[in-house]
Amino acid sequence: MSQKIKKIALLTGGGDCPGLNAVIRGVTRTAILEYGYEVIGYKFGYRGLYNNDFIPLTLDTVSGILHRGGTILYSSNKDNLFDYTVEENGKMVKKDVSDVAVENLKKENVDALVVIGGDGTLTSARDFARKGVNVIGVPKTIDNDLACTDVTFGFNTAIDVATEALDRLHTTAESHHRIMILEVMGRNAGWIALESGIAGSADVILIPEIPYDINKIVGKIKDRQKQGKVFSIIVVAEGAKPLGGDVVVNKVVEDSPDPIRLGGIANKLASDLEKLVKDNEIRSTVLGHLQRGGNTSTYDRILSTRYGVAAAELIDAGKFGNMVTLNGNKISYASLEDVIGKIKNIEPDSELVEVARKIGISLGD
């Protein structure tokens, strides 16, 4: 298969994520050094593919980027070329412009496209594969919620950041006898909250998969008070919700493929608790985009490099329409058809949830 491939392209889509540059580097170096491919990178995700806006990726281009957060190719989370906003007769309308992208790939003699992204970005990757484009996907999201892979790159860095935040909140909580609430990302999956909560010795962890009872949280706080522990740490996933209630929506971005922006649960929880807990001041912190930024963790640098090398290997083997995966400690691959539309949630009776319970952490239920 390698004799037929001469030129490949990369793009990064969706929210930025630690490890993107490491994947770009891994794909590029393997493609050039191992297979002799020419490599280009489209800028701003699928928008660059539509506008035919790209840069050459060489050994010099990817030098020194392994540790850096963000992406040298830039990114966009609003450009679905199968439902793209264009101007027509003076009006902005939604159109399927994917054929333009396909023609641009042909014009540049691109033989294979590596798409690095999460569910939304990889959904378009699957759709391009259906149109005959030779596509390889790489699983990117700090939320760790993509199906068919044990770990997505970026997740480890995010939980490191969240754990450090919990460590810092501990000292303030203890000094002032406060209840400190940390809100973390994750959308509708609680992986960041659960793992950082265990690592950061939280007293309460609230995740989307287990709706919480506010009275159970109050009970945990009062139990700690009886033990002489006059502060508490709560970590809450942005998609957590009370029993019989719903998620807190921060805003709706109409022109985005994923318009619902979660956020604000920590403030709501603080307000609710203030009515029920009189002995402690309550403070909330929203970690937000700090989880996405900064240097990439050692684990994610290695995982991203493994994913990048595997993507180049799949191209050489002609195994298109697949996403690279990590299962156990083995790099493998799964069909994009099997990945898309399936969220990898935490099972409420999973081993990690039981670990949290057995060391005395409340899940709010």
Nearest residue to 30 (alpha-carbon basis) of 53, 49, 2: 2
Q: Are 43 and 73 spatial neighbours (Cβ–Cβ below 8 Å)? A: yes
CA 298 to CA 302: how far, in whole Å? 6
Strands (E), 192-259: 204-206, 232-237, 249-252
Per 3-state DSSP, the chain is made up of helix, strand and coil in percentages (nearest 5) of: 35, 20, 40
Cβ neighbours for 98, distance < 8 A, ≥ 6 positions apart: 81, 82, 127, 128, 131
CA distance 165 to 184: 10
Q: In what order do the strands lie in the sheet with 204-206?
A: 204-206, 232-237, 179-184, 282-286
From 127, 143, 300, 316, active-site residue: 143
Q: What is the token pair recorded at 21?
A: 């540059």
CA 50 vs CA 82, 109, 229, 233, 316: distances in Å: 11, 15, 58, 47, 26
What is the dihedral angle through the alpha carbons of 70, 21, 13, 318, rounded to the nearest 10 degrees?
A: -170
Return d(Cα 106, Cα 271) in angstroms, integer: 56
Residues in the chain: 365
What is the CA 345 to chain-centroid distance, rounded?
Answer: 13
Query: CA-to-CA distance for 272 and 265, rounded, in angstroms?
Result: 10
Q: Would you call 272 a catalytic residue per the annotation?
A: no
85: its two tokens: 């906003």
Q: Which DSSP string corresponds to 279-324?
A: SS-EEEEE-GGGGT-SSPPHHHHHHHHHHHHHHHHHHHHT--SEEE
Catalytic positions are 143
